Amino acid sequence: MAIKNYKPTTPSRRNMSVLDYSELSKARPRRSLLAPLNKKAGRNNYGRITVRHRGGGNRRKYRIIDFKRRKFDVFADVVTLEYDPNRSAHVALVRYEDGEKSYIVAPHNLKVGDKVVAGPDSDIKPGNALPLMNIPTGTFIHNVELYPGRGAQLARSAGNMAQLMAVEGRLALLRLPSGELRKVPKECMATIGQIGNADHFNVKIGKAGRKRNMGWRPTVRGSAMNPCDHPHGGGEGKSPVGRSGPVTPWGKPTLGYKTRGRHKISNKFIVRRRNK
């Protein structure tokens, strides 16, 4: 999908770019596959802000995506390719032979009219879903499950893909988009190919208002605050941090401080960490 640049008619237009959505359907999303999505504005069930800088933004409806792909050996036609405001990837509306419709994450080069299928004996082609033990070594995959039957949790955003490195015993070795090498059970489902809309990360937002439409509020630097509001605040003119290193507004170390627990259950399945 191409990126469109406009003539610099205003200062913000000069640095703004948008995706070319001409390949996507202009039809309304399937109503039976929509769910309400209430805004939380970064608050938890006590009403306290747990994620800062969130609020406002356009209204959205959630698209119910089939991340499990457990409808085996039933072919489905791709009806439309659609925009999804809740994720960076686009989604495809598929219609199965028995008439059921569902949304799946659209892989690269999937077109309207193509057929997709899930099951252990499916062909190795983009959009088809198989257990890892039935996929040839070296294949690029996405929408990978961490636990059989739970639904895809790995490699789900635009342009991402993992690679199946080996299948040994009851575990499969994957190389994830972050560079991490990790093992998952070989019964986990995965979809063939790379996720589409790879140009998503090359888009320039261009102006603050566009970020507000996405539900993000302004972020203020700690060094621009008063000392009562942030440990970095205060001082005459620009001042250094003035302690052993940068901290959060609540005094916890940040920028490289490790917060992962020593007894994380998944640690034993990670062969090589992403940050090594």
pLDDT digits (tens, 9 = 90+) for 222-236: 999 999 999 999 989
Q: What is the pLDDT, as a whole number, of residue 241?
A: 87
**Number of CB atoms found within 10 A of residue 232's CB:** 21
Domain boundaries, position 98: 23-201
Q: Please check whether residue 242 lies inside any domain of the structure.
A: no
Q: Please check whether residue 227 lies inside any domain of the structure.
A: no
Kindly tell me if the per-residue pLDDT of 265 is higher than 80. no
Kindly tell me if the per-residue pLDDT of 262 is higher than 80. no
Note the residue count of the chain. Answer: 276
Residue of 267 and 131 predicted with greater confidence:
131
Q: Please check whether residue 87 lies inside any domain of the structure.
A: yes
Q: Please check whether residue 109 lies inside any domain of the structure.
A: yes
Q: Please check whether residue 258 lies inside any domain of the structure.
A: no
Q: Please check whether residue 272 lies inside any domain of the structure.
A: no
Q: What is the pLDDT, as a whole number, of residue 268?
A: 83
Q: pLDDT per residue over 128-169, tens digit each?
A: 999 999 999 999 999 999 999 999 999 999 999 999 999 988
Kindly tell me if the per-residue pLDDT of 51 is higher than 90. yes
Section 17-26 average pLDDT: 90
Q: What is the mean pLDDT of the chain?
A: 91
Q: pLDDT-derived band of residue 242, with 50, 70 and 90 as boundaries? A: confident
Q: Find the range with the poorest average confidence among 93-102, 194-203, 240-249.
A: 240-249
CATH number of the domain bearing residue 161: 2.40.50.140
Query: How is residue 65 written in tokens?
Result: 């995506």
Kindly tell me if the per-residue pLDDT of 205 is higher than 70. yes
Nearest to 126 by CA among 87, 152, 161: 161
Section 75-101 average pLDDT: 93
Q: 168 forms bridges with which residues in the sheet?
A: 171
Q: pLDDT-derived band of residue 276, with 50, 70 and 90 as boundaries? A: low
**Backbone region of residue 13 per phi and psi (left: phi > 0; alpha: psi in -120 to 50; beta: other values):** alpha
Q: What is the pLDDT, as a whole number, of residue 271?
A: 84
Q: Structure pTM?
A: 0.85
Q: Please check whether residue 99 lies inside any domain of the structure.
A: yes
Q: What is the pLDDT, as a whole number, of residue 150?
A: 93
Number of domains the chain contains: 1
Q: Please check whether residue 72 lies inside any domain of the structure.
A: yes
Nearest to 161 by CA among 136, 173, 144, 186: 144
Q: What is the pLDDT, as a whole number, of residue 1?
A: 65
